[in-house]
Amino acid sequence: MLLRINRASRRPLDGHLAALAGEQVFCSEFSYRRGTEVFGEGEEAEYVYQILSGAVRTYKLLSDGRRQINSFHLPGDMFGLENGTTHRFSAEAVVETRVRITKRRSLLETMTSRDEGASSVLSLVTRTLQHAENHMLLLGRKTALERVAAFLLEMDERLVHPNVLTLPMSRRDIADYLGLTIETVSRAFSTLRDEEMLRFDGQTQREIILLDREGLAEYDA
């Protein structure tokens, strides 16, 4: 695990983490180059992370290399908080990513000393669980087209309905998130393009304009 340190200053948190941890918790900022590991499955869970810019994927591997991505973390999102002392999955930067890092210990201390902090941690874990429940339904019971449509709507919503949806992740990442292969994901994109549900913007195939959100929602159900 190689990190490049941008800044490591002792200063109060702000934003989401501050609400969680309170003023007396200090933190630092780190940056990860695209494709680098933030932490690995089984490692000590020493820190909690909040994304400032970029994107992170968290995933599990089978021994033969099959990969399942649990979730993508976008700016503002927190990840890496565990109840035990070790990480139950790995995390990697999808693109160049800046994060704010807090010591797990100081976070958990405020959790027991402050009611507000406790319920904030709980609501973070609960939201993550809710996402996992929806994702199990997707992985267990939805068709390829339904999965890709759901993925697009999820990203669209999390990026607050931008005109152009700029996906930070590759088709491989999307496939491993949706339990499909890259070819199937690619074909689903092409189908949705042909049905004029979406349009590619620019040269790269990662800039997408959603033309018919209601149509996409009908694939989901």
Partner DNA sequence: TGATTCCATTGATTTCGATCAACGGCGGAA
Partner DNA sequence: TTCCGCCGTTGATCGAAATCAATGGAATCA
Site mask for a second copy (CB under 8 A), range 18-57, x = bound: ----------------------------------------
Contact flag: residue 170 with a second copy (CB under 8 A): no
Q: Which does 64 bind (CB under 5 to 8 A by kind): DNA, a second copy, none?
A: a second copy
Instruction: Pull the structure tokens for residue 32.
Output: 């990860």
Quick one: which segment of 7-15, 79-87, 99-107, 164-172 binds DNA (CB under 7 A)?
A: 164-172
Q: What is the dihedral of CA 200, 204, 206, 209, to 10 degrees?
A: -20
Instruction: Pull the structure tokens for residue 219.
Output: 């694939």
Contact flag: residue 136 with a second copy (CB under 8 A): yes
Taking Cα atoms as reference points, which of 81, 90, 93 lies closest to residue 40? 90
Helices (H) and strands (E) in the chain — how many of each?
7, 12
Candidate residues 3, 8, 19, 132; the one interacting with a second copy per rule CB under 8 A: 132
Considering the complex, what minimum distance in angstroms separates the CB of residue 159 from a second copy?
Answer: 22
What length does the chain have? 221
Instruction: Pull the structure tokens for residue 116.
Output: 């507000």
Site for DNA in 190-209 (CB under 7 A): 190, 200, 203-206
Q: Which does 145 bind (CB under 5 to 8 A by kind): a second copy, DNA, none?
A: DNA
Half-sphere exposure of 11 (CA within 13 A, CB side): 7
